[in-house]
Structure 1
């Protein structure tokens, strides 16, 4: 059985499996704390680029400085051979994505492949930690058997196995690693202690230990689902405000002066890697057989919240039609395809649902985003605004609040009759001074009393 008293000073080498927007900063964080790090990724181009000292992740400014230094000093090296790397290390941190497909089914394919590779190289005494967000029970009931079967070793007897959810945001990862408490749960007390000792050696944040990997997985799903439900509640308040001629924004601001009220901001949808995805993880149990996965009466609020937030794109389009009538054969410009302001990332962005809703209403849809070239927009299924087409735009939707859009020249679209501020980020007075109708979700301007159900707009599979 592995040593019962963990000692982080005995750790010399760490493998990070998955070198994406979170995995690469983690590798740098560990290397900066004095460990030798082997990064593992299946993308050969990424591996070659990193071994040349160049980063493919642009959102974290520190990487451009740290990667060349760490590669040059030998503190960081990168490989596609995960099994070989695992044979050399004391700790393996796994941050391979688990996604939900267009049918809302959790896809374990990538993490299963990574687990198989880890298992084939796993050595006695190694600590394996999953940081990927997972459905409750995945580490203990799905990944553990895969790893034990591939290695011939037993968790908590021959090796340590733990789960610790990532709790960081793109663009602020190093700050978040130092600020947010680290949640850790092991497959048993030895694994929990070993993982806790490791994180104390690489992070300055508080370490919070949970009773099990299941409980640690549950923590991440609770915190992300809370935000989705909160936004859905704000969107419901916006519907109510529109029907009754009220301003939801001023009402929420006043309500939030009470210390127990923390209502979020309504908008045209919820995007990103986390919030629109992880509620579905609550509905998935890797231990259940397919015939047992029928929807039950549990967790109905998160299910409804998902439907409400996905339906906001359709509601936004209906608000525009309430001002200028049918959008059939009219040109509409969507500002921003990123899932949030000032990031170059489109994961599950609301722009897809807005585009789909607009097309269903017969509109000609164009997009503009300063973070993406025209070719990149076309590759993702959008139509960039053609040169000289400004004169034909009759409606604009602000989908994400890039700072650049604060300086957008709305005078260049003389035919525009309405702007829907989907993130409450634009200056109403400046827009109305141009003779353009300004509307926002929940501004009290829609008294039709209509409801938009999730069935009014289907899911769209994103590239």
Structure 2
């Protein structure tokens, strides 16, 4: 336990490798208790942190300004720490195979600066075996040290939910695993410094890796079931939300809802597990079926938007559609692997002009990854259809009355209560049918929306 005591007394430091949506909250939390080095290869990101700016919106600018984390993009600074936490992304390639480039790169960087006696804990989501079979050899090669003798490794999967202000690092039980009992105990005690909910000691590293990857696979499958139900009920002309509300009165009914499944976890992690299963000769039945349903939902939403536009007698080609929300989920600036982009691509296949309103999306990432820029809500005019794809809190104050002014002139004759046409000659039904509103997550009251909009939701 000398390492733990040395860290507590300030004689040794902890390093966090990767300061994104996961690594930053970890660094901030540990810095309240011990000395922390925060490393990221992105120099611009480090510059923002040093200036007290939190681009992730996970901890806030004040927390960044007040923290004692030693931010750096110089990898040789890592040699000043003895306990390392690696929290880098683990994305997938275009063919859905794991892209281990970030974690391999982080292992190489850390290996070049690894001091004897160190412990390295990986938090990145991976398939069972990556820590010991992929990362350890890289650490050994770059450091010239021997794992188990000169340094040790462990695994503690991240469970942070971006944008969630309730389920945070401190309030979620931390799964911790080590290559041996000594490593496990040291890692557990160190994590207990910041995790109020306590830790769960897994039997070994592979168990911890597997536990993490199935957490998100389970959620993915449950959401896929809801998405399939929404497709079925739509054909039956039954409102899915109403069905779920009724079914939810039973004590053991699981609380999931249909929607887009993107991001760097739920939409990615299942592929890590199925990839490893394929290597072992097993082809996933349930997991990949659920993935296919969820991956196709953006196209499904776009197709239904087009159907509604055709029903409203609009010319689809050359029409204008504005989408509210682009991030992979509500109340986070993270645009990685957002499925809203699938809606856009499908609509553009029909010749639709698409614009985006998202006040909290990371503008730089949005442009760099998708070549998309956003417009202000106030500039939305003369649209043929509106799609509310992501229910940000910033959209909660939008009233149905406000939406009226956003449509093409043919529907601008309504007064503020949306019920009486200002011109007697205009037929209310015809005008209502001219206004397409797609509400993916059911932000608006269905009954009120249907009075004056051609309304559709999952």
Question: TM-score band, normalised by the shorter chain?
Answer: 0.7 to 0.9
Match 1:270 to one of 261, 277, 287: 261
Partners of 2:286 and 2:204 in 1: how far apart? Answer: 26
Does residue 407 in structure 1 map to residue 400 in structure 2?
no
CA distance in structure 2 between the partners assigned to 1:140 and 1:184 by the alignment: 15
Compared with structure 1, are the counterparts of its residues 209 and 372 closer, same or farther at alpha carbon in structure 2 (3 Å cutoff)? closer
- Does residue 370 of the first structure (1) align with residue 359 of the second (2)? yes
1:186 paired residue number: 178
Matched, 1:255 2:247: yes
Supply the distance in 2 between the matched residues of 1:193 and 1:132 (Cα, whole angstroms).
20
Match of 2:457 in 1: 440
CA deviation vs aligned residue, 1:374-414 (integer Å, no higher than 9, x gap): 88865533364599985531111111002232333211123
Name the structure 1 match of 2:65.
68
1:331 corresponding residue in structure 2: 320
State which drifts further: 10-19 or 383-392: 383-392
Q: 1:114 aligns with which of 85, 106, 110?
A: 106
**CA 1:87–1:384 in structure 2 vs 1: closer, same or farther (change >3 Å)?**
closer
The Cα shift of 1:7 comes to 5.9
Please say if 1:10 is aligned against 2:10.
no
**Please, which of 329, 343, 365 is the counterpart of residue 340 of structure 1?**
329
RMSD: 2.6
Maintained 8 Å contact 2:172/2:195 = no
Using the alignment, how far apart are the partners of 1:251 and 1:10 within structure 2? 57
Separation (CA, whole Å) in 2 of partners of 1:378 and 1:116: 30
1:67-146 matches, within 5 Å, as 67-70=64-67, 75-82=68-75, 84-146=76-138
Please say if residues 333 and 362 of structure 2, whose CA atoms lie closer than 8 Å, have aligned partners that are also in contact: no
Listed as ranges, the matches of 1:163-312 within 5 Å are 163-172=155-164, 176-267=168-259, 269-285=260-276, 293=279, 296-312=281-297
Q: Alpha carbons of 1:129 and 1:375: their partners in 2 closer, same or farther (altered >3 Å)?
A: closer
Deviation digits for residues 347-388 of structure 1, max 9, x if unmatched? 211210000111122322122122259888655333645999
Deviation sequence 1:285-304 (CA, Å, 0-9, x none): 4xx9xxx849x544221111
Which structure 1 residue ranges, 4+ long, deviate > 6 Å from structure 2?
373-376, 386-389
Q: Which moved more, 1:366-375 or 1:155-164?
A: 366-375
In structure 2, the partner of 1:157 is 149
Question: What do residues 110-161 of structure 1 show as CA deviations (whole Å, max 9, x unaligned)?
Answer: 2212211211222222111011111221001110111122223232332221
Structure 1 residue 109, shift from structure 2 partner? 1.7
Distance in structure 2 (CA, Å) of the matches to 1:99 and 1:232: 20
Aligned length: 421
Gaps of 5+ in 1: 442-463
- 8 A Cα contact 1:86 1:118, kept in partner: yes
Give yes or no for contact 1:21–1:57 (8 Å, CA) kept in 2.
no
Distance apart, 1:270 and its partner CA = 1.1
Matched, 1:21 2:10: no
Give structure 2 stretches of 5+ with no counterpart: 409-433
Change (3 A) 1:188 1:298: farther
Mapped pair 1:382 → 2:381: no
| Structure possessing the higher relative contact order (Cα contacts under 8 Å, 6 or more residues apart) | 1
Contact (CA 8 Å) 1:156, 1:191: kept in 2 or not? no
Asked whether the equivalents of residues 54 and 61 of structure 2 are also in contact (C-alpha less than 8 Å), the reply is no
TM-score (ref. length: structure 2): 0.84
8 Å contact from structure 2 (residues 176, 199) kept in 1? yes
Q: Is residue 317 from structure 1 mapped to residue 310 from structure 2 by the alignment?
A: no
Normalised to the residue count of structure 1, the TM-score between the two structures is: 0.84
